Amino acid sequence: MKRLYLLLTVVVSAILLNSCKSLEDSTFHSDYQNPVLLPRLTCWIDQPSFENAYGANSWSAKPSDDLDHPYGFTETPYGKGVYEVNEHTELYTAEKRIQDACRIFVYDVYENISDPTTRRAGNIVLRAGNIYCKNNYRWSWLSGFTLGIFNAMGMPMCSNTTELEVIVEIYDLRDNLVARFNERGYAKYPMAAYHGYYEFQRKTGDMALQDGMIKIKELINRDYDMIVSKLK
């Protein structure tokens, strides 16, 4: 019995010590690059659309109320709460997946969609549409039966499936809509003990966005000539 208690203590300690493991940088860096890049585009993100998708709330106050939080939901050329972002932007939101979306999008635009060394030709906006997000606990009975021992060695505890509607719009410098793309990104990811309950859902959401962006990049490549002609 003492050996059993000792084994349980080791398993629980291993889970607790690793449950806060952060996401790898590769999560935010897509290696799918279009063969021909568009001229430089400025990134914008529709924060309210992502908060609606993920059921999150913003930490930000209106700029007139708090100058330290410049991302209040004010009206911009592309809608209320749609803001220009770059690799240094920190969105004031309680939902990490929204900040992740900003990082993924900015990297994708700068590295895989447009050429940042060229003259600026317009703006590109990311929005989120409908979302399907569900946990599957089919592994949980085995986790309980084995007292979590196999989970400490990497066996999944459950899995998450996320399907996210990804919307990308491209505008010229006069804010005329040049192109609009709408695709659904899909991802399924297992939860191991070291992920923690939230992080594996965060990982799946980021992967679904990446999947949607890959599909949209293919459409951008297909319509490259049309887009470039309208950006001039």
Taking only the tens place, the pLDDT of each residue in 77-100 is 999 999 999 999 998 888 999 999
Residue 147 predicted with pLDDT over 90: no
Quick count: other Cβ atoms within 10 Å of Cβ 217?
A: 20
Q: How far is CA 179 from the centre of its chain?
A: 22
pLDDT in tens, 180-217: 999 999 998 776 655 556 787 888 899 999 999 999 99
| Range in 52-61, 110-119, 145-154 the model is least confident about | 145-154
Show the tokens assigned to 37. 């890049």
Q: Is the pLDDT of residue 221 over 90?
A: yes
The torsion of the CA quartet 29, 31, 33, 38, rounded to 10 degrees, works out to 10
Q: What pLDDT score was predicted for residue 28?
A: 80
Who wins on pLDDT, 200 or 149? 200
Where does the pLDDT of residue 16 fall: very low under 50, low under 70, confident under 90, or very high at 90 and above?
A: very low
| Residue 48 confidence (pLDDT) above 90 | yes
- CA neighbours closer than 13 Å in the CB half-sphere of residue 92: 15
E strands in the chain:
41-46, 75-76, 79-80, 82-85, 122-136, 158-172, 177-191
Q: Has residue 114 got a pLDDT over 60?
A: yes
Lowest mean pLDDT among 37-46, 104-113, 115-124, 131-140: 131-140
Percent of the chain with pLDDT over 70: 70
What pLDDT is attached to residue 219? 98
Report the mean per-residue pLDDT for the chain: 80
Looking at per-residue confidence, does 103 or 8 come out higher? 103
Rounded to two decimals, the pTM is 0.78
Residue 43's pLDDT band, with cuts at 50, 70 and 90, is very high
pLDDT reading at 13 higher than 60:
no
pLDDT for residue 29 = 86
| pLDDT of the residue at 199 | 80
Place of tokens 């749609």: 82
Give the confidence band of 47 by pLDDT, cuts at 50, 70, 90.
very high
Least confident of 63-67, 69-73, 226-230: 63-67
